[in-house]
Amino acid sequence: MALRKVTEIPKIPKARVKTIDSQFDATPAKKKSEIEYRVVAFYNYDVLQKKQFYVVSLSTIKEFSQLNYELSVDVRKNKDSIDISILGLNTKQSYLVKPSAAVTDLFFEELFGNFKINVIKQDGSINTGIYYFNVFKKELRLVEEILPKKKFNRKFCKFGVDNNLNTFLEV
């Protein structure tokens, strides 16, 4: 059996990655509004690093029973806003599988005052929550939920604060 000489290696096309800026400009498909994600903010003091973090936790409403998942996101922090682009789901390696939502926790430092948190889906839909952070007074509150004006934009995310998850440096 004669072997063929391969002169050219086949090229695999690169996956198209949407940037946060291109998602802001995209026009979403016309769909019915359905709450799919939950955003919760809280304070977390890391004892090992000895730092106070501001945590933005993004999770799915639906629970998965066969595998444990985490949300894959792209994050960009600006002067007074945080843009979170939802890329998809990744499986977590775990020996114990239990019904749970897909979650990702985003840790930030030095947030103070009003911050706009934009959650962006791949199709271009945007939901916004405005939070007020003041770690000196141990205050964190949701100021407002906004649905930005955009053609076919729809509500898919619920914003909130969970003060029961707050941890601070104990003096």
Specify the pLDDT at position 120: 92
Q: What is the mean pLDDT of the chain?
A: 86
Task: Name the residue type at position 55.
Answer: V
Q: Give the global pTM.
A: 0.82
Specify the pLDDT at position 13: 64
Dump pLDDT digits (tens) for 131-145: 999 988 889 999 999
Specify the pLDDT at position 141: 93
Please give the backbone phi and psi of residue 94, each rounded to the nearest 5 degrees, phi first: -160, 140
Does pLDDT of 171 surpass 70? no
Region for residue 118 given its phi and psi (left: phi exceeds 0; alpha: psi -120 to 50; beta: otherwise): beta
For 64, residues 6+ apart whose C-beta sits below 8 A from its C-beta are 99, 100, 101, 102
Dump pLDDT digits (tens) for 6-43: 567 666 666 666 777 777 777 887 888 899 999 999 99
Residue ranges with strand state E in the chain: 37-46, 51-64, 69-77, 81-91, 100-108, 113-120, 126-134, 139-146, 157-161
Angle at 109 between CA 61 and CA 78, to 5 degrees: 80
Task: Name the residue type at position 137.
Answer: K
